[in-house]
Amino acid sequence: MSTRRLPSLNGLRAFEAAARHGSFTAAAAELHVSQAAVSRMVKLLEERLGFALFDRRANALTLTDRGRALRPALTEAFDSIARRVEQVSAMRAGPVLTVGMGATVAVRWLIPRLSSFHLAHPEIEVRIATGGAGAPMNDDWTCAVLLGDGQWPGYEAERLFSSSLQPVCAPRLAAELHRPADLAGATLLHVSHWGEDWPRWLAAAGSADLAAKGGLSFGSYAMALQAAIDGVGVALAPRFYSLDDLAAGRLATPFRLAVPMAHSWYLVSRASRREDAGLTPFRDWLHALSAALE
């Protein structure tokens, strides 16, 4: 690799500041040196380069053609250096824990509870990365919270909790639903990639004939639940997704029947990252949080 041949960085800074301000005096104030020092550094830079950067006239400082060509690149470079220094200075000294999970489980369960982990472990920076609920582990994730059967070849999986599917809707609508057959007059909110949810629940409720009933379809449980909160219809979702809205009275459960889901949520990680700083306290916190759902 060839060695960089650069002129004095102090000279380049002095020139860039003077060119930007159009004044040695203003440049000196920015750089916290004397006007004479700025003038001298620029002069030495010009001698090193072999050409003039300024036309010096009485009470006027004008860039030469070469000076005008050089100044923008220097301003951009110094701005870039300043931004990078700020970014590096803001970097945390403690461990960073990147947790992958589906967007719905992140938004509707983990993130609202994450402050308790931060209060207990302020030195650990937690970064949430989202993917589909059954997405494989990404290389830059420390661990992941995934829905499945516990079998991820090449990874360690610790069961966290399971859940059940239960209908939820706005309290006003729930007051009108007394038995499953009443769903015939309601709008069913489906999640497109969980198409068997409603047929399973309706079959368990003895109303399998309603399974063919139309409704609205959404791309995630989060969308279907928001539609339910807004009074659009009745959503069927894992109960733990609705805990906060049920407690706040934004949602209600018109029927007690809940159908267990076939799979559970797991904490998935690589054996090679077992000793990563921050993973053990996060694992312990996550298991304690999950115990409340069982």
Question: Which residue is it, tokens 């409340």?
Answer: 292
Q: Confirm whether 3 is domain-assigned.
A: no
Mean pLDDT for the stretch of residues 89-112: 85
Same domain assignment for residues 126 and 179: no
Same domain assignment for residues 284 and 241: no
What six digits make up the tokens of 211? 């399974």
Question: Which residue is it, tokens 């200075």?
Answer: 89
Residue 274: give its domain's CATH number.
Answer: 3.40.190.10
Residue 161 has a pLDDT of: 95
Give, in degrees to the nearest 5, the angle at Cα 86 between 81 and 89: 120
Q: Which of 56, 90, 124 is the last residue of a domain?
A: 90
Q: Confirm whether 227 is domain-assigned.
A: yes
Q: 93 — phi, psi (to 5°)?
A: -85, -20
- Per-residue pLDDT reduced to its tens digit, 4-57: 778 888 989 999 999 999 888 998 999 999 999 999 999 999 999 999 999 988
Q: Confirm whether 1 is domain-assigned.
A: no
Does residue 183 come out as left (phi exceeding 0), alpha (psi in the -120 to 50 range) or beta?
alpha
Same domain assignment for residues 85 and 131: no
Question: Which residue is it, tokens 């993130």?
Answer: 111
Domain count along the chain: 3
Same domain assignment for residues 256 and 194: yes
Task: Single out the residue of 122, 103, 111 nearest to residue 220, CA to CA.
Answer: 103
Q: Confirm whether 238 is domain-assigned.
A: yes
Same domain assignment for residues 35 and 151: no
Same domain assignment for residues 25 and 135: no
260, 166 contact by CB (below 8 A): no
Same domain assignment for residues 187 and 156: no
Residue 272 domain boundaries: 96-162+263-291
Same domain assignment for residues 83 and 100: no
157, 151 contact by CB (below 8 A): yes
Cα 41 to its chain centre, rounded Å, is 46
Q: Confirm whether 207 is domain-assigned.
A: yes
pLDDT over threshold 60, residue 70: yes
Residue 30: give its domain's CATH number.
Answer: 1.10.10.10
> Tell me, what amino acid is at 125?
E
State the pTM of this model: 0.67
Question: Which residue is it, tokens 């990680």?
Answer: 269
**Strand 96-101 to 143-148 pairing:** parallel
The Cα-based distances of 160 to 120, 136, 275 in angstroms read: 20, 17, 20
What six digits make up the tokens of 169? 């809707």
238, 261 contact by CB (below 8 A): yes
**Could you give the 3-state DSSP secondary structure of residue 185?**
helix
Q: Confirm whether 202 is domain-assigned.
A: yes
Same domain assignment for residues 72 and 110: no
Same domain assignment for residues 84 and 101: no
Q: Where are the alpha helices (DSSP H) in 205-278?
A: 221-229, 243-248
Q: Which of 37, 64, 90 is the last residue of a domain?
A: 90
- Per-residue pLDDT reduced to its tens digit, 208-236: 888 767 789 999 999 999 999 999 999 99
- Per-residue pLDDT reduced to its tens digit, 73-86: 999 998 899 888 87
Q: Confirm whether 51 is domain-assigned.
A: yes
Same domain assignment for residues 206 and 191: yes
Same domain assignment for residues 65 and 25: yes
Q: Confirm whether 2 is domain-assigned.
A: no
Is residue 264 very low, low, confident or very high in pLDDT (cuts 50, 70, 90)? very high
Question: Which residue is it, tokens 């402050």?
Answer: 115
Task: Single out the residue of 218, 213, 193 nearest to residue 202, CA to CA.
Answer: 213
Which residues, including other chains, have CB under 8 Å from residue 85's CB and lie 6 or more apart?
none
